[in-house]
């Protein structure tokens, strides 16, 4: 990707997209952490883009860098120990990394919002849920206490929390897990953000509740035309809602494609492995596939392709050469030297 | 919340009974002649001995004696002095002095301790943090016994002789609240160190909490994230520590009151020990222990007010 | 936060060779800790001072013939480095000889409370149920009495004639053991539910063996931490009790007692008070620093 000229001033919220500039473009992002044991390179040149109204699922296991990337977009990484040595995060054409902390906190919550995995710990235990939602209106819009609470109740209704008016003064621990996540969602969409990042929003929930939350997110997105980034380790959860998928491994994107293409025919051995390890009704009775080996140690990354120690398609050059993200069609790319073989299903 | 309060109050009863029994047992059930023990080094007149034996119900079984002792406590009767004056009359006026001193110490402790702790937490790992931690180490290491005399000499006497500033009275309570400044500082010493460390850890913990990250993600200004979201949570252990410390400060005031010649119950305790008026010693210790337990109980209830998770248990 | 670095914690750096167990890890950290080294040196000096005071002072402070009333309450001089006290005794030699009481009270009170509290805590934590209920309630009762205050009461009742180092140790220990019990109990209970202990029990290991092999090694660390920290507290408490007149009695030499003796003439002749006070503070500081260093070494979470 080429770098278009960077706007240093903030754009009005309704400016939409300029020419071909997407809503969000992450470009060659690097994030590293300084730890006692050494420097951990958590994100190594990640790029992805998202348009308004689009849903991108970022898929990967713990340590793949998917959440760190999201936190970098949000600007909530602890720096130090985190550092962004390289890369750009352009939101409506403006590189967020070049903004001051003050300007960024103006964007956070108002234009880019985030939902976290564990709503119980993500909500402040000593304030009522109403207070926490209303705070968005009071601080960002300067509303009165009364008006902001009315808004909070409206939002709680909108995310379908029963008896919102009665429950507005309850504390987070008095709600069930699913209801708490709805409160998180209500808080995040309070100011109609253009981009919503959901970091494993359903991981801590029961399967039935998971589906309801995903449905709610999809519905809210359709209504408001916001961009949605769904971070998950679970392919099954995002299949119905996502437009495209970015698969991450060892701090890099290994495959990038529209959702049906990935399901129909993955172009990276890691994605292939993930798909094959999903239990399927039509494969009943067969042994479930599991990717061999362990996720890479971020302090001691394998040479060459990070996936090579676990890869059934491995050749000698995988151990030495880092594969670039090859474009394999207009909409797809794969970071595998042997993506053709993976697509054909030969070897492995 | 009602259930929590009731449960907590019920839980306090066995501790209260046990503790009073412990004090009772330490004094009256120790081998030897309790009358002689109460009289200290003095010789005891046989007639007096008989009266005392009856007054303290010493010829009854131990458990009955304890019953009388507890009954006395609940009716505000803490026994008699050697000269036949009720111990409770000795408390008059002195209790206020000790309370004033403890409150002064608490205020100093809260301001200095929380202030230093906040600075340390926000400058974690930097020079200010290291310096504050080293300072708390020093503070813990200097016993009241030492800091009392040293501050009396340096701030009370030498400051006056060298600069003419006569701000810290060194003895007595004639100067109103200023009389309590120096002794309050001395009494607060160790507690300042603990509170500083507690504030530091507590704030560092909350700063790492997920809900603080949420507040940042909500676009809250840094000051609001710290002042509202983080501090409100860090305050819970601090307030409870301060509450419990009030009881500890009152019972720890003996040395400070002695050094600064404050006429409180601590000083009275010292005098009574010196004069071997053991019945007064027992009475004062009983009162102080009861205050200590009460303070801890109130703190537990305070906890419920501050932390909704306990309130709605 | 599904993939923050906390999940990467078990990862050990490949190059840096470091010992693996908690104990060797802790010892490794201690040897590199400046605070620990300073504290250890100070304590070593104090221990030698308390065993062979003659090494530091040519004057035997217990020999009253060395005192000379005609030179009472003198300031610092070449003959009397720390001046002289009310009775014309050499403050320097008395301060040196006073170390013994402080160290002994610190060591023996710590030993007593650690043994009592540790044993009861082990039983309460290991057997649980009514053993735990009884012991915990008992500890709560003792805990409710502030220990210096309680010790003051006990010593006042025992009387001055019977007061001495062992009664002080006893009075301090009687009320201070519950803290050790709490720590030990918590540590035992948490290590008891660890998978490897459950596994050992499932394999038929008896309670004695489980305690000795699996639980004690893990529970001992926090107890050591609290024991080291208590040492300084006991030393300060002894000084306070002796100052108040119920602890160590003359002719024994205790820093608290020296401070009490010098108190009335403090503003005129501060040396006689300040030097024992200085030694008392340094001693407490040494143990507090030791406790701090030991805690940091055993509890990596707090770093």
**Average model confidence (pLDDT) across chain C:** 79
With a cut of 50, say whether residue C7 has pLDDT above it: no
**Which chains does chain C touch, 3 or more C-beta pairs < 8 A?**
A, B
C252, part of any domain: yes
The two tokens of residue A6 are 């960077």
Beta bridge partners of A95: A90
Q: Which residues contact A328 (CB under 8 A, 6 or more apart)?
A: A267, A334, A339, A343
Confidence tier at C113 by pLDDT (50, 70, 90): very high
Whether residue A168 contacts residue A130, with contact meaning beta carbons closer than 8 Å, is answered with yes
* CB atoms A105 and B306 under 8 Å: no
Domain ranges, residue C287: 22-60+80-302
* CB atoms B254 and C244 under 8 Å: yes
Give residue-wise pLDDT tens across range A186-243: 888 888 888 999 888 887 777 788 888 888 888 888 888 888 898 888 777 777 888 8
Residue C300 to chain A, least CA–CA distance (Å): 12
Number of independent structural domains in chain C: 1
Query: Does A44 contact chain C (CB < 8 Å)?
Result: no
Reading phi first (left if > 0) and then psi (alpha if -120 to 50, else beta), residue C73 is in left
Q: Can you tell me the mean pLDDT for B166-189?
A: 79
What CATH code is carried by the domain that includes residue C45?
1.10.3720.10
The CA dihedral of A150, A152, A156, A162, to the nearest 10 degrees, is: -50
The pLDDT value recorded for residue A268 is: 83
Partners of residue B224 in chain A, C-beta under 8 Å: 139
* CB atoms A33 and C5 under 8 Å: yes
C184, part of any domain: yes
| Lowest-confidence region among A48-57, C189-198, C242-251 | C189-198
Q: Can you tell me the mean pLDDT for C129-151?
A: 85
The pLDDT value recorded for residue A15 is: 43
Tell me which residue in B40, B145, B289 faces C240 most closely, judged by beta carbons. B145
Whether residue A206 contacts residue A177, with contact meaning beta carbons closer than 8 Å, is answered with yes
* CB atoms B214 and A127 under 8 Å: no
Q: Which of B193, B169, B1, B231 is nearest to B113 (CA)?
A: B193
Query: Does A42 contact chain C (CB < 8 Å)?
Result: yes
Whether residue A14 contacts residue A185, with contact meaning beta carbons closer than 8 Å, is answered with no
Query: Does C134 contact chain B (CB < 8 Å)?
Result: no
The two tokens of residue A303 are 């040479």
C4, part of any domain: no
C73, part of any domain: no
Give residue-wise pLDDT tens across range A61-82: 887 888 888 888 888 887 778 8
**Which chains does chain A touch, 3 or more C-beta pairs < 8 A?**
B, C
Residue C5 to chain A, least CA–CA distance (Å): 8
Task: Please indicate whether residue A317 or residue B62 has the higher confidence score (pLDDT).
Answer: A317
The pLDDT value recorded for residue B33 is: 61
User: What's the ipTM?
Assistant: 0.81
Query: Does C10 contact chain A (CB < 8 Å)?
Result: no
The pLDDT value recorded for residue A285 is: 64
Whether residue A161 contacts residue A183, with contact meaning beta carbons closer than 8 Å, is answered with yes
Give residue-wise pLDDT tens across range A78-119: 777 888 888 888 888 888 888 888 888 888 888 889 988 888
**Average model confidence (pLDDT) across chain A:** 81
C297, part of any domain: yes
Question: Which of A304-318, B34-48, C204-218 shows the highest mean pLDDT?
Answer: A304-318
Question: Which of A235-244, A248-257, A276-285 shows the highest mean pLDDT?
Answer: A248-257
Count how many pairs of residues, chain A against chain B, have C-beta atoms within 8 Å: 74
Phi then psi dihedrals of residue A57, to 5 deg: -100, 130
Domain definitions of chain A by residue range: 22-242, 257-344
Q: Can you tell me the mean pLDDT for B197-213?
A: 88
With a cut of 50, say whether residue A7 has pLDDT above it: no
Phi then psi dihedrals of residue A253, to 5 deg: -85, 125
C75, part of any domain: no
Three-class SS of residue B170? coil
Tell me which residue in C2, C7, C14 faces A200 most closely, judged by beta carbons. C2
With a cut of 50, say whether residue B45 has pLDDT above it: yes
* CB atoms C11 and A38 under 8 Å: no
Q: Which CATH number fits domain A22-242: 3.40.50.720, 2.60.120.380, 3.40.50.2000, 3.40.50.300?
A: 3.40.50.300
* CB atoms B308 and A125 under 8 Å: yes
Partners of residue C3 in chain A, C-beta under 8 Å: 42, 60-68
* CB atoms C2 and A33 under 8 Å: no
Domains and CATH numbers, chain B: 94-263 (1.10.3720.10)
Name the one residue in this structure whose structure tokens are 């003959």.
Answer: C79
Three-class SS of residue A268? coil
* CB atoms A113 and B210 under 8 Å: no
């Amino acid at each position: 990707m080429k770098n278009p000229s960077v706007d240093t001033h903030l754009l009005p919220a309704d400016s939409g997209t300029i020419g071909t500039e997407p809503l969000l473009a992450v470009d060659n992002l690097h994030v590293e952490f300084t730890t006692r044991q050494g420097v951990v390179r958590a994100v190594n040149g990640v790029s992805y883009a998202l348009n308004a109204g689009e849903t991108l699922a970022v898929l990967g296991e713990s340590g793949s860098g998917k959440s760190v990337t999201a936190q970098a977009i949000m600007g909530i990484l602890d720096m130090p120990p985190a550092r962004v040595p390289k890369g750009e995060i352009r939101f409506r054409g403006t590189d967020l990394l070049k903004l001051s902390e003050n300007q960024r906190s103006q964007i956070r919550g108002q234009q880019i919002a985030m939902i976290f995995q564990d709503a119980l710990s993500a909500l402040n235990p000593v304030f009522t849920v109403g207070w926490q939602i209303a705070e968005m209106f009071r601080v960002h819009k300067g509303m009165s206490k009364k008006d902001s609470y009315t808004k909070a109740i409206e939002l709680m209704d909108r995310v379908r929390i029963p008896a919102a008016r009665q429950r507005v003064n309850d504390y987070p621990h008095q709600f069930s897990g699913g209801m708490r996540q709805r409160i998180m969602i209500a808080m995040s969409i309070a100011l109609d953000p253009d981009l919503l990042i959901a970091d494993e929003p359903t991981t801590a929930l029961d399967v039935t509740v998971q589906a309801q939350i995903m449905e709610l997110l999809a519905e809210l997105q359709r209504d408001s035309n916001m961009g949605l980034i769904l971070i998950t380790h679970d392919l099954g959860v995002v299949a119905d809602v996502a437009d495209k998928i970015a698969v991450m491994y060892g701090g890099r994107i290994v495959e990038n494609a529209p959702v049906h293409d990935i399901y129909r025919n993955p172009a990276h051995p890691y994605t292939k492995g993930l798909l094959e390890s999903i239990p399927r009704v039509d494969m009943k009775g067969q042994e479930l596939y599991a990717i061999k080996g362990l996720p890479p140690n971020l302090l001691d990354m394998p040479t060459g392709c990070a996936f090579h120690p676990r890869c059934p398609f491995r050749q000698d050059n995988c151990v030495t050469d880092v594969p670039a993200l090859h474009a394999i069609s207009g909409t797809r790319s794969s970071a595998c030297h042997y993506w053709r073989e993976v697509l054909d299903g030969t070897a492995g | 919340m009602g259930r929590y309060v009731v449960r907590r109050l019920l839980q306090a009863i066995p501790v209260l009974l046990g503790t009073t029994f412990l004090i009772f047992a330490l004094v009256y059930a120790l081998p030897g002649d309790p009358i002689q023990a109460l009289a200290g080094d003095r010789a005891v007149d046989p007639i007096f001995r008989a009266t005392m034996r009856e007054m303290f119900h010493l010829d009854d079984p131990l458990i009955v004696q304890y019953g009388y002792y507890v009954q006395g406590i609940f009716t505000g009767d803490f026994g008699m002095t050697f000269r036949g004056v009720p111990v409770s009359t000795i408390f008059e006026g002195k209790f206020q002095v000790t309370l004033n001193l403890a409150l002064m110490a608490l205020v100093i402790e809260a301001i200095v301790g929380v202030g230093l702790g906040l600075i340390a937490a926000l400058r974690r790992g930097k020079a200010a943090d290291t310096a504050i931690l080293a300072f708390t180490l020093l503070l813990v290491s200097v016993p009241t016994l030492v800091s009392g005399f040293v501050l009396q000499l340096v701030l009370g006497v030498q400051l006056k002789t060298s600069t003419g500033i006569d701000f810290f009275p060194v003895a007595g309570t004639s100067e109103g609240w200023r009389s309590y400044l120096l002794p309050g500082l001395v009494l607060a010493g160790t507690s300042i160190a603990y509170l500083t460390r507690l504030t530091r850890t507590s704030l560092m913990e909350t700063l790492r909490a997920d809900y603080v990250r949420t507040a940042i993600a909500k676009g809250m200004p840094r000051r609001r994230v710290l002042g509202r979201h983080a501090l409100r949570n860090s305050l819970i252990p601090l307030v409870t520590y301060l509450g419990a410390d009030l009881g500890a400060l009152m019972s720890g005031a003996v040395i400070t009151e002695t050094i600064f010649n404050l006429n409180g119950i601590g000083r009275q305790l010292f005098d009574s020990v010196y004069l071997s008026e053991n019945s007064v010693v027992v009475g004062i210790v009983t009162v102080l222990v009861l205050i200590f337990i009460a303070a801890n109980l109130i703190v537990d209830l305070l906890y419920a007010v501050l932390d909704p998770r306990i309130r709605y248990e | 936060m599904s993939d923050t670095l906390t999940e990467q914690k078990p990862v050990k750096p490949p190059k840096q060779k470091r010992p693996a167990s908690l104990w060797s890890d802790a010892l490794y950290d201690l040897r590199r800790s400046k605070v620990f080294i300073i504290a250890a040196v100070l304590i070593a000096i104090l221990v030698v001072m308390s065993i062979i005071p003659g090494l530091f002072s040519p004057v035997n402070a217990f020999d009253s013939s060395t005192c000379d009333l005609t030179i009472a309450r003198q300031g610092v001089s070449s003959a009397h480095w720390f001046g002289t006290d009310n009775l014309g005794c050499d403050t320097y030699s008395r301060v040196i000889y006073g170390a013994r009481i402080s160290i002994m009270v610190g060591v023996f009170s710590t030993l007593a409370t650690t043994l009592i509290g540790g044993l009861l805590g082990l039983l309460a934590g290991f057997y649980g149920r009514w053993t735990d209920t009884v012991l915990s309630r008992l500890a709560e009762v003792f805990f409710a009495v502030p220990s210096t205050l309680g010790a003051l009461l006990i010593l006042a009742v025992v009387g001055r004639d019977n007061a001495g180092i062992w009664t002080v140790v006893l009075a301090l220990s009687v009320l201070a053991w519950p803290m050790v019990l709490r720590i030990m109990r918590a540590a035992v209970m948490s290590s008891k539910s660890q998978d490897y202990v459950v596994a050992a029990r499932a394999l038929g290991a008896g309670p004695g063996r489980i305690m000795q092999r699996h639980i004690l090694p893990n529970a001992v660390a926090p107890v050591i931490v609290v024991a080291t920290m208590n040492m300084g507290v006991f030393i300060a408490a002894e000084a306070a009790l002796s100052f108040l007149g119920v602890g160590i009695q003359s002719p024994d030499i205790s820093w608290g007692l020296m401070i009490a003796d010098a108190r009335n003439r403090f503003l005129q002749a501060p040396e006689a008070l300040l030097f024992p006070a200085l030694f008392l503070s340094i001693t407490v500081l040494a143990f507090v620093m030791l406790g701090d260093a030991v805690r940091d070494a055993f509890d990596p979470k707090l770093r």
